């Protein structure tokens, strides 16, 4: 019997939190039972892997590229093609309202809106457009998913309690501390063994608050001149942050690593992970950091659902950068030798991707069976 095909609607297939979740699920799901296809507007690093796994990518222009009418017409062509998809799973936050409506009009019986954030991004006009489409989610979605309770509250309001919480899981052992990987990455970056490496993984956007991260590192570097800041990721604000590092006299100490495929090795190379985001749904990078046994100082704006282990200390964004720096140094006091992968705690908290993939697979199959023949 052929697998059921689920159409995942995304903005793009680059590195990011929800993209990482989808790919982790895709790698772990039984693909002879369930296959993933994608509607995507922006190219990304996962495309070759998706095609190798048997997925189909439908490229359509994004709303901001050619406007909502062109996007809608292109989406309709995909949704109405034969054979019709039994399930559409949208990861576009409030833009999911448009996807849900068009999927309903196309006769697709199972329509999942998945919230991955807790706040709109972009300028006022863009936020107003997103809010308009956000009001279309509840009337047209048949099922609601969210990465955290806060993300459900933000997108689904009065119906938040009806949402399934699908934690952003990982394979814990893949991130276990690795002394050889640590030595290799540090050698690549020219970091001596005693250099204190502060790390961050994330897109260069306002949400990730790199400007404050640099202030924290400046305070830490004043105390520990033998320190470095490792920034993995890319995005529109990278040149601005590089200029800020130059003005602070930190150009030699701040390493802009770009997009990396070796995040587990990078985490082993770090001594502390600092994550001062303004808002998040549920950041998978913090789950990965904990799996690596890495001490974390994170913004209290982030849901406490991600605080799986005692490795995480949450701090207010109104607290001085120097206090964040002091916390990072204190938490990392045990050194690399003391680090362990808390796989049991991660599994017990519901963050094992294999368990999440089995649950989602059963959900898809059951919902498809319920609606067969409609």
Question: 82 and 231, same structural domain?
Answer: no
More confident residue, 118 or 331: 331
Question: 278 and 358, same structural domain?
Answer: no
Residue 222, pLDDT > 70, answer yes
pLDDT of residue 282: 82
Question: 141 and 8, same structural domain?
Answer: yes
Cβ pair 16, 234 in contact under 8 A: no
Question: 250 and 158, same structural domain?
Answer: no
Question: 317 and 184, same structural domain?
Answer: yes
Count up the domains in the chain and report the number: 2
Question: Can you give the pTM of this predicted structure?
Answer: 0.85
Could you report the per-residue pLDDT of 52-76, keeping only the tens digit for each? 999 999 999 998 888 889 999 999 9
More confident residue, 121 or 339: 339
Rg of the chain in Å (alpha carbons)? 21
Residue 322, pLDDT > 80, answer yes
The first and second tokens of residue 324, run together, are: 């964040």
Question: 211 and 161, same structural domain?
Answer: no
> Which single residue is written with the structure tokens 């936050």?
93
Question: 165 and 192, same structural domain?
Answer: no
Residue 236 phi/psi, 5-degree rounding, is -65, -25
Could you report the per-residue pLDDT of 289-313, keeping only the tens digit for each? 999 999 999 999 988 888 999 999 9
Question: 186 and 100, same structural domain?
Answer: no
Spatial strand order of the sheet with 34-40 comes to 57-59, 34-40, 4-9, 87-90, 110-115, 143-146, 164-165
Residue 374, pLDDT > 70, answer no
pLDDT of residue 312: 96
Question: What span, in angstroms and rounded, lies between the C-alpha atoms of 205 and 211?
Answer: 10
pLDDT of residue 133: 86
Question: 140 and 273, same structural domain?
Answer: no
pLDDT of residue 205: 92
Positive or negative torsion for Cα 308, 310, 311, 315: positive
Containing domain of residue 61, as a range? 4-169+352-371
Mean pLDDT of the residues in the chain: 93
Band (pLDDT 50/70/90 cuts) for residue 225 is very high
CA nearest to 332, candidates 195, 201, 213: 195
In b/e form, how buried is each residue of 262-286, taking b as 16+ CB within 10 angstroms? ebbbbbbbbbbbbbbbbbbbbbbbb
> Which single residue is written with the structure tokens 């329509």?
111
pLDDT of residue 113: 98
Could you report the per-residue pLDDT of 7-48, keeping only the tens digit for each? 999 988 877 778 888 999 999 999 999 999 999 998 888 999
Band (pLDDT 50/70/90 cuts) for residue 369 is very high
Evaluate the omega torsion of the peptide bond into residue 335 and state whether it is cis, within 30 degrees of 0. no
CB atoms within 10 A of CB 48: 8
Average pLDDT over residues 358-373: 91
Question: What span, in angstroms and rounded, lies between the C-alpha atoms of 362 and 374?
Answer: 20
Average pLDDT over residues 165-183: 93
Question: 237 and 159, same structural domain?
Answer: no
How much of the chain exceeds pLDDT 90, in percent?
78
Average pLDDT over residues 128-155: 91
Positive or negative torsion for Cα 103, 120, 55, 77: positive
- 363: domain CATH number? 3.40.50.2000
Could you report the per-residue pLDDT of 70-97, keeping only the tens digit for each? 999 999 999 999 899 999 999 998 999 9
The first and second tokens of residue 369, run together, are: 């069976």
pLDDT of residue 44: 85
Cα-Cα end-to-end distance for the chain: 19
Question: 328 and 181, same structural domain?
Answer: yes
Question: 38 and 163, same structural domain?
Answer: yes
Task: State whether residue 165 is helix, strand or coil.
Answer: strand
CB atoms within 10 A of CB 340: 9
């Amino acid at each position: 019997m052929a697998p059921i095909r689920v159409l995942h609607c995304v903005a793009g297939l680059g590195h990011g939190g929800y993209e990482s979740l989808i790919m982790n699920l895709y790698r772990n799901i039984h693909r002879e039972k369930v296959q993933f296809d994608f509607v995507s507007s922006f190219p990304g690093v996962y495309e070759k892997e998706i095609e190798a796994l048997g997925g189909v990518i439908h490229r359509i222009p994004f709303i901001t590229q050619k406007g909502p009418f062109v996007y809608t017409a292109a989406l309709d062509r995909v949704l109405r093609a034969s054979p019709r998809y039994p399930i559409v799973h949208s990861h576009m936050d409030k833009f999911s309202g448009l996807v849900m409506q068009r999927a309903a009009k196309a006769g697709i019986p199972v329509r999942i809106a998945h919230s991955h954030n807790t706040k709109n991004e972009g300028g006022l006009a863009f936020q107003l457009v997103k809010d308009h489409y956000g009001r279309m989610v509840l009337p047209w979605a048949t099922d609601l998913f969210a990465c955290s309770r806060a993300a459900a509250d933000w997108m689904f309001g009065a119906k938040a309690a009806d949402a399934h919480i699908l934690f952003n899981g990982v394979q814990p052992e893949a991130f276990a501390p690795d002394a050889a990987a640590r030595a290799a990455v540090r050698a690549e970056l020219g970091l001596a063994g005693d250099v204190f490496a502060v790390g961050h993984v994330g897109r260069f956007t306002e949400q990730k608050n790199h400007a404050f991260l640099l202030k924290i590192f400046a305070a830490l570097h004043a105390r520990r001149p033998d320190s470095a800041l490792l920034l993995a990721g890319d995005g529109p604000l990278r040149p601005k942050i590089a200029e800020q590092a130059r003005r602070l006299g930190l150009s030699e100490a701040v390493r802009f690593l770009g997009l990396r495929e070796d995040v587990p090795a990078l985490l082993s190379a770090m001594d502390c992970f600092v994550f001062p985001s303004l808002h998040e749904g549920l950041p998978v990078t913090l789950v990965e950091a904990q799996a690596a046994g890495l001490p974390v100082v994170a913004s209290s704006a982030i849901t406490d659902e991600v605080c799986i282990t005692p490795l995480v200390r949450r701090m207010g964004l109104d607290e001085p950068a120097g206090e964040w720096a002091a916390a990072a140094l204190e938490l990392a006091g045990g050194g690399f030798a003391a680090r362990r992968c808390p796989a049991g705690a991660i599994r017990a908290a519901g963050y094992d991707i294999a368990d999440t993939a089995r649950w989602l697979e059963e959900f898809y199959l059951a919902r498809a069976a319920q609606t067969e023949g409609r």
